[in-house]
Amino acid sequence: MNHPRSQYAHLSEPYLAIAIVVAAVIVVLVVFVALRFREGRPGAPSRRAHASVLEGAYVAVLAGVAAVLLVMTFRAEGRVDAISRPPALRVDVTAARWNWRFDYPRYGVTVPGTDTRPSTLVVPAGALVRFRVKSLDVVHAFWLPAERFKKDANPSRWNTFELVFHGPGRFEGACSEFCGLRHADMRFNVEVLAPAAFQTWLRQKGAAP
Amino acid sequence: MSAVGAGVARPLPRTRSGPIEILAGTGHKSLGVRLFVTAFVFFLAAGALALLMRTELARPGLQVLSEGSYNELFTVHGSTMFYLFATPAALALGVYMVPLQIGAEDVSRPRLALAGWWLILAAGATMWAGFLTAGGAADAGWYAYEPLSDMLYSPKVGQDLWAVGVLLSALSSLVLAGCLLATIVRRRAPGMTMLRLPVFTWSMLVSCLMVLTAFPALVAAMALMYVDRNWTSVFSGFHGAIEYQHLFWFYGHPVVYVVFFPFVGAVAEVIATFSRKRWFGYRPFVLSLMLFATLSMSVWGHHMFTTGTIANKYFSLTSTALLVPAGIEYFDSVATMWGGRISLRTPMLFALGFLVTFLIGGLSGIFIGSPPLDYHVTDSYFIVAHFHYTLFGGSVFGMFAAIYYWWPKVTGTMLRERLGKLHFWLTLVGVNATFFPMFFLGENGMARRIADYPSSAGWTGLNELATAGSYVLGLSMLVFVANVWVSLRRRVGSGPDPWGGHTLEWCTTSPPPRYNFAALPPIRSHAPLLDVRERDEDESVEATT
C-alpha cells in the first residue's frame, strides 16, 4: 500500500530504537571512562595503542548494522515509491509563488488558490490517488506532514507518486522548499472525504460525468 | 619538562606589528592567527544574526523582522557560517599548526597562502556589502537554488554580490588547501614519514584533498550563476534547476566534512594528550579518515531524495555506510581514554562535549539517510536540528577544544580555567536547549526558513525553549570573549608545554620563534614527544631497580 505514514512509523521505530541505545551506551561509556580513569589513580597510564582484532570485529558489527538498516530502508522505499496499479483518481498539483492549484483532469474540476486564501485539496478516503506535481516558477515542495510525505515541485516537469489516505479528516499541507518572500504563507488544506461524500463534492464542483 | 624543550631558541622580543606587516606579512603563524581571527569575527557576526532570527521565531506572528529581512538574515547567516567562518577557520588551524606538527619552518608558497587571507577578506566584504545596497542582501538561502536565485526572481544586486563573494571564498579555500597539501607532502622533517604524521595533520590532509576535489564545483556553480544572471541563460527549465543542485551539492556535502575533520583531528590530539596516552588505533583511524572522505564525495544526492530525479537507493547506501568510519572514530576515542590518566581541563571538556553532542547529529544523520524517513523530515526543522548538531555540536565544540588546547602555544599565555569551564557548561546547555526541540518541531510539520507560523500549530512552547537556548549560547560566547580579554590583559605565562603534549609543536617556545625550531627530537612515531617521555621513564625505572 502506498501509505507513507505507516511505512514511516514502521521504519522509524527500529531506527530510533537503535539510535537511542547507541546514544545511551556511548554517553554512559564516555562519562564512565572519563571518571574511572581520572588522573591521580595510582600507576602509569597504559601504553597499549592498538587492538586490531577487537577493532576489526567491531567494524564487522558496524557494517552489519548498516546492512540491516539498508535492507529495511530499501523495502520501505519500494513500497512508498511504488507506482503500479491503474489509479482510480488522478490529481494534478501545480505550485506557483505562493499558492497551489489542484486539478482533477478526468472530471474537469479545478480548485485554484489565491495569495490570501489557501486552496483545498479534496481526496477520497481509502482509494489510491495518483498525483502529478510540478511548478510554474521556482522549485517548491509539496509536503503533507500528516502523511509523512513530500515531493519536490520542479519547474516544467511532472513528478509522479501515489498515495492512499485513511480518513476522513482534515489537515494542513505546506510548501517546504524555500521559494522566496512569502514561502511561509504557501500553505494549503487537505480534506479527506468518505467515498460517497467525495462523489457528491465532485458533482457540486460541476464534474463532467 | 623533558630534555627536549631545553635547547630551543628564545622567542623574539614581542614587537607591535605595523599595518604593512599585518596586511602583507607571510609567516605562517601570524597568517594563521589573522585568518582565524577573521573567521571568528564572521562567526560572531553570523551568530548575532541567528539571535535576531530566534527572537523573531519565539512567538507566532511577526514582531521584530519582516519576512523579507528574515530571508536575508538566514541567507547571510548560513552563508557566513559556511563560506566565511567554518572553512577558513578550519584551514587557519592548519596554516598555524601543520608546519609545527611536521617540523617545518613555514608553509609552502607562503605568499599564495597570504592571498588566501586577502581573498576571504574580499569575499566577506563583498557578501556583506549586500546589506548596504538598496534591495538589501541576498535572500535565496545559502544554497541559492535555481531558478529562485536568477535575475527574474532575485533581481537585487545583493544576489550578485553574494555569488561573487562565495566564489572568492571558494578560491581562498582552494589556494589555502593547495599550500597546506604541498607543505605536508614536501616539508616534513627528516623521519616524519606519512604514517608518522600526527592525527591532526592527517585530518587536515584529508580535508585539503576534499577541498581540491569538491570546491571547483562551487567555483563553477557561482561563475555560471553570475553568467546566468547577467549575460545569458544557463540554468533555465527543469534540467538547469536540477543540474544546479548537482553542482552545488557536489561541493555542498563534502564541505561539511571539510569543516569537520580538522576539528576531529584536534579533538583526537586533545583526548590523547589529556588522557596521557598515545592515540589509539592510529592506522585504522587514518584509514577511516580516507574512507570517510571517499564516501562523502559520493553522498551528495541525499540532499535531493525528494527531487524525484535521483538514484535514491545508491545515495542511501553510501550515506548509511558513513556510520562505519564514524564508528571507528568513536572506538578510537574511547579506547584512547581507557586506561589513561584523564585530566578534565577545559580543552578535554570540549573534546568530551564534542563526542556527546556530535553523536546526536550523527545518529540523526543515519535517520535521514533513509529516503522514506527523509521524505517527511527534509526541509523541516528536523534538518535544522540535525545539521546544527553536527556543525555546532561537532565542529564548534571541536574548535573550542582546539582553541583552549593551542591557545598557550599561540600566545604563550593560559586562558582562565574557571571562565573556560563556565563557557563549556553554558555552551553544552545552550546547544541542546536550542537544537533538540527542533527535532520535534520538524517532525510535527514546521518547515525551515519561515519567519512566521500559525499560533494554532502548537509550536510556540518549543520555539520559546529554542530561543531561550540561543540566548544561553550568546551568553556563553560573551564568557569566552571575556576569557580571552582577561587572559590577554593579565598574562599568566604558559611555558613551552603546559599540557604534556605529544607532537612537535610542544617542543619549541610559546609562541614559536620565526623559523619554529632550534632542534627536533628523533621522530619515530606520530607522538615523538611521548616517545621521548616514555624512554626517559623507562630509563629512570631501570636506574632505580
Q: Which of residues 392-411 of B touch A (CB under 8 A)?
A: none
Nearest C-alpha neighbor of B87 from the set B310, B277, B257, B317: B257
From A201's Cα to the closest Cα of chain B, the distance in A is 27
Q: Give contacts of A66 with chain B, Cβ < 8 Å.
A: 320-321, 323-324
B282 contacts on A by Cβ (under 8 Å):
49-50
- Which chain A residues contact residue B372 at CB under 8 A? 4, 7-8, 11, 73, 76-77, 80
What number of CA atoms fall less than 13 Å from residue B348's CA on the CB side? 25
Closest CA–CA distance from residue B419 to any residue of chain A (Å) = 21
Q: Does B303 touch chain A if contact means CB atoms closer than 8 Å?
A: no
- Residue B147 forms contact with A (CB below 8 Å): yes
- B76, burial (CB in 10 Å: exposed 0-12, middle 13-18, buried 19+): buried
Q: What is the 8-class DSSP label of residue A42?
A: S
CA distance A209 to B349: 71
Dihedral Cα A29, A31, A33, A37, nearest 10 deg: -170
Q: Which of A55, A62, A146 is facing B281, going by the closest CB pair?
A: A55
Residue B305 in this model has a pLDDT that exceeds 50: yes
Contact A22 B317 (CB under 8 A): no
Higher pLDDT, B467 or A88: B467
Q: Express each pLDDT in B392-428 by its tens digit.
A: 999 999 999 999 999 999 999 999 999 999 999 999 9
B509: nearest Cα among B2, B3, B7: B7
Which chain B positions have a beta carbon within 8 Å of A77's beta carbon?
Answer: 312-313, 316, 370-372
Q: Which amino acid is at B393?
A: G
* Tens digit of each residue's pLDDT (9 = 90 or more) over B144-177: 999 999 999 999 999 999 999 999 999 999 999 9
Question: Contact at 8 Å (CB) between B268 and B203?
Answer: yes
Contacts of B352 in chain A (CB under 8 A): 30, 34
- Chain B, 315 to 374: residues with Cβ < 8 Å from chain A are 316-317, 320-321, 323-324, 327-328, 330-331, 334-335, 337-344, 352, 355-356, 359-360, 363-364, 366-367, 370-373
From the CA of A21, how many Å to the nearest CA of chain B? 11
Residue B385's CB is within 10 A of a number of other CB atoms, namely 25
CA atoms of B259 and B92, how far apart (whole Å): 11
Question: Is the pLDDT confidence value at B463 over 90?
Answer: yes
**pLDDT for the residue B8:** 46
pLDDT above 70 (res B142): yes
Residues of chain A in contact with residue B450, where contact means CB-CB under 8 angstroms, are 183-184
Q: How far apart are CA B24 and CA B8, in angstroms?
A: 28
Q: What is the pTM of this model?
A: 0.95
| Residue from the list B277, B323, B363 with its beta carbon closest to the beta carbon of A23 | B363
Subunit contact A155:B344, Cβ cutoff 8 A: no
> Is the model's pLDDT at B11 over the cut of 90?
no
C-alpha–C-alpha distance, residues B529 and B520, integer Å:
10
Q: What ipTM was predicted for this assembly?
A: 0.96
Chain B residues near residue A33 by CB distance under 8 angstroms = 334, 337-338, 342
Contact A70 B316 (CB under 8 A): yes
* Contacts with B154 from chain A: Cβ below 8 Å: 180
Which residues of chain A make contact with B321, given a CB cutoff of 8 A? Answer: 66
The C-alpha cell at A13 is 521505530
User: Which of A73-87, A148-162, B314-328, B469-483 is the least confident region?
Assistant: A73-87
pLDDT for B448 beyond 70: yes
Amino acid found at A25 = V
pLDDT at B288: 96
The angle at the Cα of B267, spanning B262 to B269, to the nearest 5 degrees, equals: 95
* Chain A residues inside the 8 Å CB shell of B61: none
Give me the residue from A65, A69, A178 closest to B449, CB to CB: A178
Is there a cis peptide before residue B147, judged by omega within 30 degrees of 0? yes
| Chain A contact probe: residue of B57, B243, B376 with most A CBs at under 10 A | B376
* C-alpha cell, B252: 555542498
For residue A152, the chain B residues in CB contact (below 8 A) are: 306-308
Measured distance CA(A76)–CA(B362) in Å, rounded? 22
pLDDT(B213) > 90: yes
Q: Would the pLDDT of B285 be above 50?
A: yes
Residues of B in contact with A44 (CB under 8 A): 341, 537
The more confident residue out of B543 and B283 is B283
Reported as a single tens digit per residue, the pLDDT across B172-198 is 999 999 999 999 999 999 999 999 999
Summarize the confidence of residues B470-484 as an average pLDDT.
98
Cell readout for B318 is 553510501
- What is residue B64's predicted lDDT score, i.e. its pLDDT? 95
The Cα–Cα gap between A58 and A55 comes to 5
pLDDT reading at B86 higher than 50: yes
Rounded to 10 degrees, the C-alpha dihedral B380/B383/B384/B390 comes to: 180
Question: Which of the pair, B16 or A169, is modelled with greater confidence?
Answer: A169
Q: For all residues of chain B together, what is the average pLDDT?
A: 95
At residue B193, the pLDDT reads: 97
Looking at residue B17, its pLDDT comes to 75
Q: How far is A115 from chain B (nearest CA, A)?
A: 15
Residue B385: its pLDDT value, please? 98
Cα B180 to Cα B338: distance, rounded to the nearest angstrom: 33
pLDDT on residue B1: 38
Nearest to A26 among B330, B340, B450 (CB): B330
Is the per-residue pLDDT at B302 higher than 90?
yes
Which of B69, B199, B270, B373 to mutate: most A Cβ within 10 Å? B373
Q: Which residue of A has its CA nearest to B372?
A: A77
B-chain CB neighbours of A115 within 8 Å are none
Q: What is the per-residue burial (b if ≥16 Cβ within 10 Å, else e) of B177-215?
A: bbbbbbbbeebbbeebeeebbbbbbbbbbbbbbbbeebb
Residue (of A159, A130, A148) closest to A76 by Cα position: A148
Of A45, A138, A145, Cβ closest to residue B340? A45
- Tell me the mean pLDDT per 10 residues along chain A, length 209: 86 96 97 94 90 95 97 94 82 95 94 88 94 96 96 94 92 96 95 96 84
Question: Which pLDDT does position B236 carry in this prediction?
Answer: 83
A37·B275 Cβ contact <8 A: yes
Whole-angstrom Cα distance, residue B283 to residue B33?
Answer: 31
Q: What is the pLDDT of residue B14?
A: 55
Contacts of A51 in chain B (CB under 8 A): 280-281, 335
CB-based contact, B515 to chain A, within 8 Å: no
Cell output for B117: 587571507
Count other C-beta atoms under 10 Å from residue B259's C-beta: 26
Cβ separation of B309 and A154 shorter than 8 Å?
Answer: yes
pLDDT score, position B19: 86
Q: Which residues lie closer than 8 Å to B23 by C-beta, 6 or more apart?
A: none
Provide, rounded to the nearest whole percent, the portion of chain B with pLDDT above 90.
Answer: 94
pLDDT of residue B5: 42
The yes-or-no verdict on residue B7 having pLDDT over 80 is no
* A24 vs B80: CA distance, rounded Å: 34
In angstroms, the CA B204 to CA B201 distance is 5
pLDDT at A113 (0 to 100): 86
Residue among A1, A26, A29 with most chain B CBs within 10 A, to mutate? A26
Across the A:B interface, residue pairs with CB atoms under 8 Å apart total 243
Average pLDDT over residues B357-379: 97
Return residues 475-514 of B near A (CB < 8 Å): none
Q: Which of the pair, A156 or B363, is modelled with greater confidence?
A: B363
